[in-house]
Structure 1
């Protein structure tokens, strides 16, 4: 049994196709198939049911894949131990960021981090929270930045900052004359929300569901981006809530539509998330230090109430 064979098994388990798995491993399909067949012969079991389309794991195959993932992670740790011993901060690092954080946070820290850690090759992807969880569990991401808590036993969450929600209220709205807004002022009937799949949307729904007579079926209009929500709000189609960092780059004439909550302000917890195997911790620590030092100057809020991004059932 070899580590390479286990890598191949994990690839087929992920892609459910030998050809695609071989492409992801940069080997020919016959080479990959032969190595997996050798492993099955050595173990005297079938790991995959090749008669199914797409290919499925057998019952024993499912158990083998779980253990193979642990073994592969631990084998990666050997190089990680060497890198940490040498104080080396470099190599490829795959980072996922959710869409409502990417456009505001990334420009704040990326240039500083690259300049300070030139040997790190960052590969950054914009992903939903669901995609991030899956890729971290499958070993296809080294870390991610998302709203927490996520309540996943095999993932660790390291809070970086707490970002308050801010009301964006157009002039014709019933709340426009208020200097500060209360959670009790919110009404899903006139709230513009992000499309399903955004955790910031779930946070707003959770916030509103804490009130009486609020239900998820109340709202009518949704969009895929915060910028579109602002434009729709300007057209008088309702109010919306923005993450605080999104308000910093608004034009001055639009900032007159912003209304902060009375304290404690509802807020989201933004964390650096990584697998409990804690691989590449030297880079994770460097990322955390860079981001937290920069954001600390932009967000000075302390009295906040964290709103969970987990959809309420």
Structure 2
């Protein structure tokens, strides 16, 4: 039995196809199939039911895959231990970022990070919080940037910054003439929200302390785009709340619609998160330091009120 054979088993279990698994492992399909067959012969079991399409794990195969994940992940960590001992900061690093953070934060830190740590190969993926948690636990992500707290026993959280909420209120809205707004002014019945599954939506609902299945009598908004919320708001369909960083590049014609909260300003907590057994801490520390450095000057708010939990 070899780690390579177990790696091939995990690839087939994930893709449920020998050809796709071979492509992922950068080997020919006959080579991959032969190694898995050797493992099955050695153990005297059948790991995959090849008669089904897509290929399925047998009962004993599922148990083997569970253990194989632990063995393969631990084998990867040996190199991580050596890198840490040598002080090496480099190699592949898989990072997930939630949609309401990605478009604003990534341009702020990525160029600086790449320039400072040219030996790190970042692989970045935009994912919702639920998928991020699953991928971190399964070992498909090294870390992620998400709204916290998540209160997950397998994941550690390290706060990067607190991002205030800002009201986007069009001219025909009941709150437009208010210089500043209070949390008590908010009402979900005239507010546009992101579609279900976005943690920012959950933060707004928590902020309002109320939940309704339908926010308007004559339509239900299902949008994954903050820009769409702004455009709909401009059409007189309600107000919305924006993460502060999304307001920094808003056009001059729309800035009059931005309304800040009275202190303490409601905000969300944004953190770098990773598995509790993660060993690429030298890269996580580098990521945390760069982001914290660039964000410090961008968010001047000091007296904020964190709305939690945001996990979704």
Q: Give the TM-score of the pair, scaled to structure 1.
A: 0.92
| Superposed displacement of residue 217, structure 1 | 2.1
Q: Pick from 214, 218, 236 the counterpart of residue 217 of structure 1.
A: 214
Relative to 1, partners in 2 of residues 1:31 and 1:103: Cα closer, same or farther, differing over 3 Å?
Answer: same
DSSP 3-state at the match of 2:81: helix
For residues 40-81 of structure 1, give each alpha carbon's deviation from its aligned partner in whole angstroms, at most 9, with x where no partner exists: 222222222333332222333222222211111111111111
Secondary structure of 1:160's match? strand
Contact 2:160 2:271 in 1 (8 A): yes
Work out whether residues 206 and 307 of structure 2, in 8 Å CA contact, stay in contact via their aligned partners in 1. Answer: no
* Counterparts of 2:308 and 2:250, CA distance in 1: 24
- Mean Cα deviation higher: 76-85 or 215-224: 215-224
SS at match of 1:189: helix
Q: How does 1:1-313 map to 2 (within 5 A)?
A: 1-208=1-208, 210-211=209-210, 214-219=211-216, 220-300=220-300, 301-311=302-312
Structure 2: any 5+ residue segments left out of the alignment? none
C-alpha separation in 1, matches of 2:249 and 2:46: 57
CA distance in 2, matches of 1:59, 1:271: 38
Shift of 1:288: 0.5
Contact (CA 8 Å) 2:265, 2:303: kept in 1 or not?
A: no
Q: Secondary structure at the match of 1:194?
A: coil
CA offsets 1:242-285 (integer angstroms, 9 cap, x no match):
00111111233322211222333332211111222213211111
TM-score normalised by structure 2 residue count: 0.92
Query: C-alpha offsets along residues 187-234 of structure 1, whole Å, 9 cap, x if unaligned?
Result: 2221112223322122222333x14xx413224223221112112111
Secondary structure of 1:193 counterpart: coil
Q: Which runs of 4+ in 1 moved over 6 A?
A: none
Does structure 1 retain, via aligned residues, the 8 Å contact 2:149–2:308? no
- 8 A contact 1:268–1:306 mirrored in 2: yes
Q: Is the 8 A contact 1:76 1:279 kept in 2?
A: no
Structure 1 unmatched runs, 5+: none
Q: Contact 1:205–1:216 at 8 Å: present in 2 too?
A: no
Alignment partner of 1:271: what SS? strand
Query: C-alpha root-mean-square deviation of aligned residues, in Å?
Result: 1.8
Range moving further from structure 2, 16-25 or 294-303: 294-303
How many angstroms apart in 1 are the aligned matches of 2:7 and 2:191?
48
